[in-house]
Amino acid sequence: MKNRLRVLRAEREWSQQDLADRLDVSRQSVNAIETGKYDPSLPLAFKIADIFELAIEEIFLRDVVEQAAK
Amino acid sequence: MMATATQNKAKPGVWAGLFGANMAVIAVLFITGVIEPPTPYILFALNMVLMVPLVRAGKQLQVEKGGVTRAVSRYNRRFLGFSLAYSVAMMVCALLADRMGWATPVMWVLAIVPMVPAFGMIWAMTQYLREETDEYLRHRAVSAAMVGLGFVLVLGTGWGFLETFGLVPHIWAWWVFPAWAMGLGIGMALPERDAGGEA
């Protein structure tokens, strides 16, 4: 699943470690989520959304092919 | 990033490879009858000392990737402690067992003593999965454990058939743990191989 984490983080001038500290997870986790290697659980996705003060769907994007099929 | 690039990169794979190669050589020498008990047990135990640089290199790699949590630190400490305890227990018990008669009550004690730290290593892994609050790291550990399980199932089932048809000699069942641990290590290395990172 694609996401806008890197952009949102850059807008706030946060490093991966800054975001990891806010989420109380490892920097490796932030990197994995950001690069699309791991999709977070719903609770963690809500936590990310809360930190950026955005809705989940404004951060995590459904695949275009998946959307077109519906 | 520049400072990190100039430092020596952690290479737990090298230590794991050396550990695995030593285990394989000892196993082949034992199976072919070149060395006889208690020599193979002592060599296995001495090889466990390689867990020290292996765990340290693994920790360094975790630090480089930003994947160190309190649960990871606790796991490393516990696993290393049990590995060293196992190494000492295995050596001492193998040497003592060689001087005693089979099926004596003392032999039960000598068999159980190295079993305790071996179970301790399994307990350390269970505790890690319970204590790790980072869901991605927990997910990676569980995925790697599944790779380890697959590794053991393939090796065990394959060897079992070869043994049934008299093509290979019998081996004792305790090999499953080091084999699973090797599979776990392979599993931990697989998904993160191309992961980048940013300080």
Q: How confident is the model at residue B5 (pLDDT cuts 50, 70, 90)?
A: very low
User: How close, in Å, is residue B75 to chain A by CA atoms?
Assistant: 16
Is B131 touching A (CB cutoff 8 A)? no
What pLDDT is recorded for position B139? 94
Please determine, for residue B32, whether its predicted confidence score (pLDDT) is greater than 50.
yes
CA of A19: which chain B residue's CA is closest?
B199
Would you say the ipTM is above 0.95? no
Does residue B193 carry a pLDDT above 50? no
Chain B residue whose CA is closest to A38: B136
Question: B135 and A25: CB-CB below 8 Å?
Answer: yes
**B66 contact residues in A (CB cutoff 8 A):** 16-17, 20, 26-28, 30-31
- Is B196's pLDDT higher than 70? no
Of A15, A17, A28, the CB nearest to B137: A28
Say if residues B113 and B107 touch (Cβ distance below 8 Å): no
Nearest chain A CA: its distance from B53 CA (Å): 23
**Chain A CB within 8 Å of residue B77 CB:** no
Q: Sorting pLDDT into bands at 50, 70 and 90, what band is B3?
A: very low
Q: Quick one: pLDDT at residue A66?
A: 56
Mutation for testing the B interface, residue in A28, A34, A46 having most B CBs under 10 Å:
A28
Catalogue all structural domains in chain A, each as residue range(s) with its CATH number: 2-62 (1.10.260.40)
Measured between CB atoms, which of B134, B191, B199 is closest to A26? B134
How many contacts, defined by CB atoms under 8 Å, are there between A and B? 58
Cα distance from A31 to chain B (closest Cα, Å)? 6
Per-residue pLDDT at A57 exceeds 60: yes
Per-residue pLDDT of A4-50, as tens digits, reads: 999 999 999 999 999 999 999 999 999 999 999 999 999 999 999 99
The CA angle B42-B43-B49, to the nearest 5 degrees, is: 100
- The contacts of residue B120 (CB under 8 Å, 6+ apart) are B78, B81, B82, B85, B86
Q: For residue A24, what is the DSSP state? A: T
Do B137 and A16 count as a contact with CB atoms less than 8 A apart?
no
pLDDT above 90 (res B181): no
| Range in B45-54, B83-92, B94-103, B162-171 with the lowest mean pLDDT | B94-103
* pTM score: 0.77
Which among A15, A37, A40 has CB closest to B195?
A37
pLDDT tens per residue, range B66-78: 778 899 999 989 9
User: What b-and-e string marks burial along B7-18, b requiring 16 or more CB atoms within 10 Å of the CB?
Assistant: eeebebeebbee
* pLDDT confidence tier of residue A70, bands split at 50, 70 and 90: low
pLDDT at B56: 84
Structure token digits, residue A15: 């490093």
Taking 50 as the threshold, does the pLDDT of residue B89 lie above it? yes
CA–CA dist B57, B59 (Å, integer): 5
Contact yes or no for B66 and A26 at CB 8 A = yes
Highest mean pLDDT of the ranges B24-33, B139-148, B168-177: B139-148
Closest CB to A38 among B67, B133, B136: B136
